[in-house]
Amino acid sequence: MLALGMLGTQELVIILIIVILVFGVNKIPQLGKGLGEGIRNFKSSIKEISEDSDKKQSEKEKDK
């Protein structure tokens, strides 16, 4: 995992070829769409949690 940041062009091409072989060319856009939706949902959930936390904290400060 430590070497993950040191991926070069050759490694990325090999990974892309493996992904194409495993999933096929037609499934790659669907995988990208699903990944994008997942990331979007994750970010919105984190934002909601942060806003709820800020709201609760401000309510506690008002009660003091």
What is the residue-averaged pLDDT of the chain?
85
More confident residue, 60 or 49: 49
Could you report how far apart the first and last alpha carbons of the chain are, in Å? 47
Q: How many CA atoms lie within 13 A of 11 on its CB side?
A: 6
Residue 3 pLDDT level (bands cut at 50, 70, 90): low
Residue 14 sits at the vertex; the CA angle it makes with 17 and 36, to the nearest 5 degrees, is 65
